[in-house]
Amino acid sequence: MEKYYESNETNINRENMNDVERTVKGVVRFVRKTRDGYSFTLFTKSTPLKLYSRFYVEEGKAILGKLRGEVLEDLKEIGFEELRNEFKEHLESTIVKPTSFYANSLNSLNSSQALSFLNQIIEIGKELMLFSKLGFDIVVRYNADADGISSAIQLKEFMKANFISNPSPFYLKRDALNDLTFSLHKFNPVLILLDFSSNKESIESLEIASSYARVFIIDHHPFDESFSEFIEKKPINFLNPHSFSLGSEITTGYICFEIARLFGKEREKWMRISLAGDKSNLININEKDKEDALVFDYLAFYSPNTPLNFFKEVLEKEDIKETFLIQAKEKIESFYSKLSSLIPVKIGDIELYLIDLSSLNKFDFPNASKVVTLLKELKSNSPGVFIGYTESSLIFRVNDKAFEIGVDANSLIKALKEKFKEKIISGGGHKKASSLKLSKDFSTKLVIEEIKEMLKEVGVKEKQLKKNEKN
Ligand SMILES: [Mn+2]
């Protein structure tokens, strides 16, 4: 009885001793002068600690010291590289590297390309986690739609960063300059761009960013040759399924899910919303996922700068969510009768639907691209191409049946760019969804006539193929 008591006592003492004399290592951040010393955050390999020191500690330095309560004593500077390697080793030892994708449809591809993509996701995921643990200054810009938002939410689960919404598909010069002024004097700036910026229009801004920060692009939009040439020359970490001949159905939110999975932080919910938002069938999604994605899109449309936490909260507050959902659905349904009554132009086996969107109120939900997606969903019994246009822009949607017989929205855009050159200001997108902006002195009517010609050729090729099959 007595012995038991004694040994127990000793144990308590030893624990206390460990507490007062623990040696800690880490990176010093957020140093502030206090009355009798300094307060700061020490980024250690496990978790950041809020500490105090009687002596000056320098921002960004790697140090070692003895911890007494919340006070760090006997400070010594250590090599940053040495510490970084130690953090890296620790990280390696704590993660379980997946050997296959979470989505089975990707594993059944059974290609070395898919596996290389998974390995790149793992490498980039580890690097981001390392930077976060070392206290680097991270800015995350995410596209303001269901995919971009759910991507950002997933990174926020394991990463300290400044999250900014980016309503444009391009990394605009204005935003690049803002990021530069914000980050220039920060500690090891890192910039992560989610679900946008894989395009020519973003090149100059990416040049600016890569001159002062470590830049990561996590995206799934197809890009052209001039963009991949640019990326190869720049020290930009580029994570995009199209680099591996994989498709846009691997959404940015899915990639972020695979990254979060490395650290045991995965939540299927966010990945599902990303798939629902971008109409991807990578895994089976349900009605609730679609509703959640619609609520995100609706909120982001009216208020792109809504904080990420609020997006998360709205889904838990049934009454608020229901209100947004009913409004979004009503607004969408108000287009049903107009869209249903549209008569297509028949081009061979293809039905071409044209809708004039110049009178659409651009301050109201849904936006032009959602209207054209809706049209596609309503009219998908035969191979269909759907075009919404204004005086200076066109939005394309291609349904699965038309895609199967060789209509590719992205190739269409490429061909149009080649034909009309400087008359086209910008354009691009996915194989089944893309858009085009024209210069003011040009007309969408001419572009539509050209598209009809191109679709005729698809029809001819298709007939040729069928004939060959029969023979
Ligand atoms: Mn997306």
pLDDT at position 16 is 46
| Of the candidate ranges 11-25, 182-196, 312-326, 356-370, the one whose mean pLDDT is the lowest | 11-25
pLDDT digits (tens, 9 = 90+) for 274-290: 999 999 999 999 999 99
* Cα 100 to ligand 1 centroid, rounded to whole Å: 22
Closest C-alpha among 136, 131, 23 to residue 87: 131
**One-letter amino acid for residue 349 of the chain:** D
Cβ neighbours around 123 below 10 Å, total = 12
Q: What is the CATH number of domain 2-78?
A: 2.40.50.140
Length of the chain: 471
Cα–Cα distance between 404 and 398 in angstroms, integer?
10
Right CATH for 95-331 from 3.40.50, 3.90.1640, 3.30.310, 3.30.160: 3.90.1640
pLDDT at position 462 is 64
Assign domain 336-470 to its CATH architecture: Roll (3.10)
With a cut of 90, say whether residue 258 has pLDDT above it: yes
Q: Where are the domains of the chain?
A: 2-78, 95-331, 336-470
Percent of the chain with pLDDT over 70: 93
Mean per-residue pLDDT over the chain, rounded: 91
pLDDT digits (tens, 9 = 90+) for 317-340: 999 999 999 999 999 999 988 899
Query: Are the CB atoms for 170 and 199 separated by under 8 Å?
Result: yes
Cα–Cα distance between 246 and 228 in angstroms, integer?
15
* Cα 319 to ligand 1 centroid, rounded to whole Å: 28
Cβ neighbours around 245 below 10 Å, total = 10
Q: How far is CA 227 from the centre of its chain?
A: 18
* Cα 242 to ligand 1 centroid, rounded to whole Å: 13
* Cα 352 to ligand 1 centroid, rounded to whole Å: 25
* Cα 73 to ligand 1 centroid, rounded to whole Å: 49
SS3 content of the chain, % helix, strand, coil (to 5): 50, 20, 30
pLDDT at position 458 is 80
* Cα 257 to ligand 1 centroid, rounded to whole Å: 13
Q: What is the pTM of this model?
A: 0.88
**One-letter amino acid for residue 449 of the chain:** E
Which alpha helices (H) appear in 184-307, and where do they start and end?
203-210, 225-233, 252-262, 268-277, 287-302
Query: Are the CB atoms for 124 and 134 separated by under 8 Å?
Result: no
| Of the candidate ranges 2-6, 59-63, 357-361, 435-439, the one whose mean pLDDT is the lowest | 2-6
pLDDT digits (tens, 9 = 90+) for 177-232: 999 999 988 999 999 999 999 998 999 999 999 999 999 999 999 998 899 999 99
Identical fold for domains 2-78 and 336-470, yes or no, is no
* Cα 274 to ligand 1 centroid, rounded to whole Å: 7
- How many helices (H) does the chain have, and how many strands (E)? 18, 16
pLDDT-derived band at 464, boundaries 50, 70, 90: low
